[in-house]
């Protein structure tokens, strides 16, 4: 009997160990899901800022706790990334543009060789990325020769190569297609003031980047130029409409690439490609309208570069009216944050984690950060936004009349001449009432008034830049069921047409509902690459400020940068290479204890050399770098709890076993 009870006791202990082991393995998942639970109330809704005091305090404390955990996990990644990056010499085009310019000026870098190097990188990577749609090496050499005869002073980006967006940034001789197949042979016959200013600052234009048709969608894909791939993961999209630009900067092809932004086209791809994206105050940049519309600027990998670009590209007359002075004490700036989609769509846990991590960081720096949604109705705002987009449909049809000598039809969608949304906007524009522009302008006025009042209390508004990580390239811009409906949009009333346009766009909008507010309010907004998901995909946070507060946002950006909060692709991959090398060497070391000594030395040397060669090849061969798709090894939330939980579990099971044995002995 004793033997029987003893064996039962042993089985009980073994079962407990297995049970605790399973709980131990599940801990990261449970920890991640607990974050989701903590930011919602019992009804599954995000806590309102108007909740009772005690409830709000409890919610804020819960958010603070989860934020601390998220921040710690991401901080570990950033620290490791920075340490590795300090040991790895940067590729020249991955350095800040200001440093490259200084090296060119003092002769450390030969600018002809630098430009040749960029073209080599474009050639090597473009087959995978499809980010660059046009190059002109002869013109680049002509720019270099002209630059030699000019003064170096006053040119902060002297000799630095730059790619410009293929949409809306005119450079004489470059393609001017709007992304429409029937305009594929069009070229610009002039250079606009924005591009001229780039050249005055010393940039050498080396080519133009990919974008979607008319810049209408938040991914980069078109009938004319095809799909652009994300250098973080080639199966995913870099975002749009400035996706070719951000892919070029993220991959280290150039340090800076230009883009434009009418609804998030600089910031959305900045989030999904892991770079810095600023949309300046409306009208601040040379050539931009003072009325909310398109804003031209750049995507970068350095806050100092972004500051220099803003100073150099500003319209000085407009700047005197628009720009606000920096506050004397940055820490007294109140910051509101939101984890809620303005159009009521789901927000991924990664997007929430990115913001909560930033909240912890800012609070640790001494800022007052509270949860508070903006007062603007996102659905009403987007309905007005789509009214403003009707002009794109009208313009596409006007261009078709010039080239095709006819109006657009539904057959042009199925034949690949236009996107379904371009056709839908054209048909709706024909039925639009005369007061449609007044409705749009009234909404602009309301949004401006609401956000001005909001910023009086909260000068900075923190949200996710995007609600998800980058979508797969096989994820369509519009769901097939809505494409079929748009082909028949001609038969609907105007109200029905606009509802269909909203419904059709919602599939894409649900991934990026946060960026349009800054455009319609005319405000500056800055996307910072502060977060990488467990799947190894970047995601940005967005800081939005009142009109003219551009330099306030950049000061906050400097704070994030100075404290190593920004994560770029080359640094992340350097961290990954070191992780891979350490893991492989550890396996070799363990194997070394068992196998024959001399043979093991050969194995170690051979395997270690393979690791080092692969690391070097990955740095120096862009094609190999861009083909890497291995699983990223990242810290997981909750992993620090695993050892204490296992220890406690074992003690608990042993105690149960002892009590059971005592009870059985008494029964005997």
List the beta bridge partners of residue 161. Answer: 204
Beta-carbon contacts of residue 184 (< 8 Å; ≥ 6 apart): 175, 177, 224
Distance from C-alpha of 375 to C-alpha of 61, rounded to nearest angstrom: 24
3-state secondary structure 435-488: CHHHHHHHHHHHHHHHHHHHHHHCCEEEEECCCCCCCECCCCCCCHHHHHHHHC
Start-end of H helices in 544-596: 550-562, 569-592
The SS3 call for residue 579 is: helix
Distance from C-alpha of 192 to C-alpha of 618, rounded to nearest angstrom: 39
Helix (H) or strand (E) holding 296: strand 295-300
Distance from C-alpha of 30 to C-alpha of 21, rounded to nearest angstrom: 14
The SS3 call for residue 336 is: strand
Count of positions (residues) in the chain: 668
Q: Is 11 exposed, middle or buried (0-12, 13-18, 19+ CB in 10 A)?
A: exposed
Q: Which tokens belong to 451?
A: 């956000």
Q: Check 140, 222, 241, 615 and give the catalytic one.
A: 241
Distance from C-alpha of 451 to C-alpha of 336, rounded to nearest angstrom: 12
Q: Which tokens belong to 204?
A: 């050498």
Q: Is 273 a catalytic residue?
A: no
Helix (H) or strand (E) holding 526: strand 525-532
Peptide bond between residue 9 and the one before it cis (omega within 30 degrees of 0): no
Q: Which DSSP letter does residue 156 get? A: T
Check if the beta carbon of residue 436 is closer than 8 Å to that of residue 390. yes
The SS3 call for residue 629 is: coil
Residue 59 vs residues 47, 62, 300, 368, 597: alpha-carbon distances, Å: 8, 5, 37, 16, 60
Q: Check 125, 208, 222, 265 and give the catalytic one.
A: 265
Q: What angle do CA 152, 250, 583 make, to 5 degrees?
A: 125
What is the distance of C-alpha 243 from the center of its chain?
10
Q: Check 99, 121, 155, 165 and give the catalytic one.
A: 165
Q: What angle do CA 37, 42, 47 make, to 5 degrees?
A: 75
R_g of the chain computed on alpha carbons: 28
Check if the beta carbon of residue 263 is closer than 8 Å to that of residue 292. no
Check if the beta carbon of residue 645 is closer than 8 Å to that of residue 23. yes
Distance from C-alpha of 107 to C-alpha of 362, rounded to nearest angstrom: 41
CB atoms within 10 A of CB 53: 7
Q: Is 33 a catalytic residue?
A: no
Q: Is 52 exposed, middle or buried (0-12, 13-18, 19+ CB in 10 A)?
A: exposed
Q: Is 265 a catalytic residue?
A: yes
Check if the beta carbon of residue 413 is closer than 8 Å to that of residue 181. no
Which residues have a catalytic role annotated? 165, 241, 265
């Amino acid at each position: 009997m004793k033997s029987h009870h003893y064996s039962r006791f042993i089985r009980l202990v073994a079962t407990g160990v297995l049970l605790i082991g399973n709980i131990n393995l599940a801990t990261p998942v449970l920890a991640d899901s607990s974050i989701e639970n903590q930011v919602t109330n019992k009804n599954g809704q995000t806590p309102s800022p108007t909740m009772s005091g005690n409830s709000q305090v409890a919610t804020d404390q819960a958010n603070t706790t989860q934020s601390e955990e998220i921040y710690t996990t991401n901080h570990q990644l950033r620290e490791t990334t920075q340490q590795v990056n300090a040991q790895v010499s940067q590729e020249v085009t991955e350095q800040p543009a200001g440093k490259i310019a200084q090296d060119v000026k003092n002769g450390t870098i030969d600018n002809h060789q630098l430009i040749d190097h960029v073209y080599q990188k474009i050639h090597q990577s473009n087959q995978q990325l499809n980010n660059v749609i046009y190059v002109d090496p002869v013109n680049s050499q002509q720019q270099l020769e002209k630059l030699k005869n000019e003064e170096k002073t006053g040119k902060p980006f002297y000799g630095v190569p730059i790619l410009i967006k293929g949409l809306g940034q005119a450079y004489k001789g470059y393609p001017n297609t709007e992304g429409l197949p029937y305009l594929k042979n069009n070229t610009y016959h002039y250079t606009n003031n924005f591009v001229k200013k780039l050249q005055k600052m010393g940039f050498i234009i080396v080519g133009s980047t990919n974008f979607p048709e008319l810049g209408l969608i938040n991914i980069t894909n078109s009938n004319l130029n095809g799909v652009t791939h994300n250098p973080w993961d080639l199966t995913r999209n870099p975002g749009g409409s400035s996706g070719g630009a951000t892919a070029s900067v993220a991959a280290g092809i150039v340090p800076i690439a230009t883009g434009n932004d009418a609804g998030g086209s600089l910031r959305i791809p900045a989030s999904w490609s892991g770079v810095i994206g600023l949309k300046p105050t409306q009208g601040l940049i040379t050539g931009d309208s003072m009325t909310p519309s398109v804003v031209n600027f750049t995507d970068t990998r350095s806050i100092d570069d972004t500051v220099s670009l803003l100073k150099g590209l500003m319209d000085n007359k407009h700047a005197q009216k628009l720009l606000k002075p920096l506050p004397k004490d940055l820490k007294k700036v109140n910051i509101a944050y939101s984890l809620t989609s303005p159009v009521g769509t789901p927000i991924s846990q990664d997007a929430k984690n990115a913001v909560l991590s930033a909240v912890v960081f800012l609070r640790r720096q001494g800022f007052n950060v509270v949860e508070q949604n903006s007062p603007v109705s996102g659905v009403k705002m987007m309905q007005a936004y789509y009214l403003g987009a009707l002009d794109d449909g009208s313009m596409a049809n006007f261009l078709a009349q010039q080239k095709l000598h006819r109006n657009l039809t539904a057959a042009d969608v199925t034949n690949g001449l236009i996107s379904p949304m371009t056709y839908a906007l054209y048909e709706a524009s024909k039925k639009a009432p005369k007061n449609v522009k007044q409705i749009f302008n009234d909404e602009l006025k309301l949004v401006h008034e609401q956000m001005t009042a909001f910023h009086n209390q909260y000068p900075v508004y923190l949200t996710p830049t995007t609600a998800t990580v980058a979508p797969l390239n096989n994820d369509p811009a519009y769901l097939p069921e809505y494409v079929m409906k748009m082909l028949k949009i001609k038969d609907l009333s105007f109200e029905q047409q606009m509802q269909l346009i909203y419904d059709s766009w919602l599939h894409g909008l649900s991934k990026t509902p946060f960026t349009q507010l800054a455009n319609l309010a005319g405000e500056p907004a800055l996307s910072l690459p502060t977060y990488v998901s467990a799947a190894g995909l970047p995601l940005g946070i967005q800081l939005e400020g009142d009109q003219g507060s551009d330099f306030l946002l950049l000061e906050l950006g400097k704070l994030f940068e100075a404290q190593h909060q920004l994560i770029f692709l080359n640094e992340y991959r350097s961290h990954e290479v070191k992780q891979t090398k350490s893991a492989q060497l550890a396996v070799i070391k363990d194997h070394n204890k068992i196998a024959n000594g001399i043979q093991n030395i050969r194995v170690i040397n051979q395997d270690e050399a393979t690791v080092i060669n692969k690391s070097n090849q990955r740095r120096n061969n862009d094609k190999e770098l861009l083909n890497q798709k291995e699983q990223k090894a990242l810290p997981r939330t909750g992993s620090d709890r695993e050892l204490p939980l296992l220890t406690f579990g074992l003690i608990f099971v042993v105690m149960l076993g002892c009590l059971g044995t005592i009870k059985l002995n008494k029964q005997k």
